[in-house]
């Protein structure tokens, strides 16, 4: 058997192969470190607004809805247990960020919607979050930012990778 008889992978194919244990471990470690930084900064920004990251996620979902939403639909959209949404709504309602209303089509169901104060919090915190993400991304030059986003789309299975 000569060198010419050996089947070689296409150029770049080995690079696209399975990750080694070291690579997978480093990927997870770096991803967790980046997410910890994002969460820490988010918590710092959310605390003055009187909300938590989980509650803000719910508020942001409600802001995207066309009108009041059933609690079950909110739980499904956030991929959390309905009781988790109930406690988040309880806290947000006590803070004046949401209000509950009866569902006119089903007396057993309750709808939830943002109050004007809740909309203000979503707008304020959303702007601060964008600024924070921009600060983190500013550590990279434009080409590296594009490459990071391309790679994140690729590993998350998002289109446009």
What is the tens place of the pLDDT at every residue in 60-108? 999 999 999 999 999 999 999 989 999 999 999 999 999 999 999 998 8
Residues 6 or more apart whose CB falls under 8 angstroms from that of 118 comprise: 59, 62, 63, 92, 96, 97, 98
Architecture of 24-156 per CATH?
Orthogonal Bundle (1.10)
Is there a contact between 110 and 104 (Cβ–Cβ < 8 Å)? no
Is there a contact between 68 and 111 (Cβ–Cβ < 8 Å)? yes
pLDDT mean over 134-143: 86
- For residue 117, what pLDDT band results from cuts at 50, 70 and 90? very high
- For residue 113, what pLDDT band results from cuts at 50, 70 and 90? very high
| Rounded distance between C-alpha atoms, residue 145 and residue 136, angstroms | 10
Q: In the chain, where are the structural domains located?
A: 24-156
Whole-model pTM: value is 0.65
Q: How far is CA 111 from the centre of its chain?
A: 24
| Rounded distance between C-alpha atoms, residue 113 and residue 59, angstroms | 9
Cβ count within 10 A of residue 60? 16
Residues 6 or more apart whose CB falls under 8 angstroms from that of 61 comprise: 69, 74, 77, 78
- Compute CA distances 88 → 31, 64, 119, whole Å: 27, 17, 16
| Rounded distance between C-alpha atoms, residue 43 and residue 94, angstroms | 20
């Amino acid at each position: 058997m000569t060198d010419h008889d050996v089947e070689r992978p296409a150029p770049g194919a080995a690079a696209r192969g399975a990750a080694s244990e070291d690579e997978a471990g480093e990927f997870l470690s770096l991803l967790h470190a980046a997410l910890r930084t994002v969460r820490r900064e988010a918590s710092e920004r959310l605390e003055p607004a009187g909300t938590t990251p989980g509650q803000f996620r719910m508020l942001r979902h409600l802001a995207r809805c066309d009108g009041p939403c059933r609690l079950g639909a909110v739980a499904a959209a956030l991929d959390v247990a309905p009781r988790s949404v109930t406690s988040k709504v309880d806290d947000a309602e006590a803070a004046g960020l949401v209000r509950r209303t009866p569902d006119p089509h089903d007396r057993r169901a309750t709808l939830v919607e943002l109050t004007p104060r809740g909309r203000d919090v979503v707008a304020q915190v959303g702007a601060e979050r964008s600024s924070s993400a921009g600060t983190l991304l500013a550590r990279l030059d434009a080409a590296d930012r594009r490459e990071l986003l391309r790679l994140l789309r690729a590993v998350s299975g998002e289109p446009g990778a």
